[in-house]
A and B are shown apart, each in its own frame.
Chain A
């Protein structure tokens, strides 16, 4: 029976992964990353729900408008899932957001979802910015990292028990 080793910090977990066979390390890293990405995806959904809206009006006279309920609805219904994992042999990467979320219809015209998200997030000369992605970063960074760390620890502990 293999002895159980206790791991503490994330640095130690990384070292353990580096010592393993590449394919096993990849599987463990991907599983952990998926857990962390899920936290970020949930934070994106929450941030989108928090976007302030007002009925559509044309910006004029130096004033800016908020996002319209229609624009918010497009973001709410758009996919915010975890993108396919990319593996270059040394690192595993993924992204969360609305990069590949297709199109939404605003005032009868099809517009790419990332364009709408960009306009709300960065603002335009006629729309007030609501930096919801920055909110996602600051709120989900810590929880996502601890989720990754916990999953790594869990998977490594499982291996050492086998």
Chain B
């Protein structure tokens, strides 16, 4: 596992634990559909992390790790998390990251951002 990868995971975990809960709690409504969020029932933020090893496109690189970070927030601006995540990715991935997806979940009324990064092995 590349050192940069380990450092990125540690930095993201520290970021998550320092400022917000790891997960949000989704209570089930009476009709068993996810209810609309309220300040009591929802955390403000959730950060997920996953990564896969893959063969790099660059022929000089035998292996690369590609993964993603997800942010779910009730607030359209991500409640200040977006610059922090961008900064952490830039610091550890040498600019090899991008915003891959941004959407809105109607069921939960949460905004969703997904950043994809790549670290060479």
Contacts and interface: CB of A to CB of B under 8 A. Distances in A.
A122 B71 CA distance: 11
A126 B26 contact: yes
Give the contact-size bracket for chain A. 10 to 19
A124 B104 CA distance: 10
Contacts of A61: 25-27
A138 B112 contact: no
Given A62-B23, A134-B116, A125 B72 contact: yes
A123 B69 CA distance: 11
A129 B26 contact: no
Contacts of B116: 134
Chain B facing A: main interface SS? strand
Give the contact-size bracket for chain B. 20 to 34
B46 A125 contact: yes
A63 to B, nearest CB: 8
B54 A138 contact: yes
Contacts of A141: 57
A121 to B, nearest CB: 9
Nearest to B34: A126
A141 B59 CA distance: 13
Interface of A: 58-62, 118, 122-126, 129, 131, 134-135, 138, 141
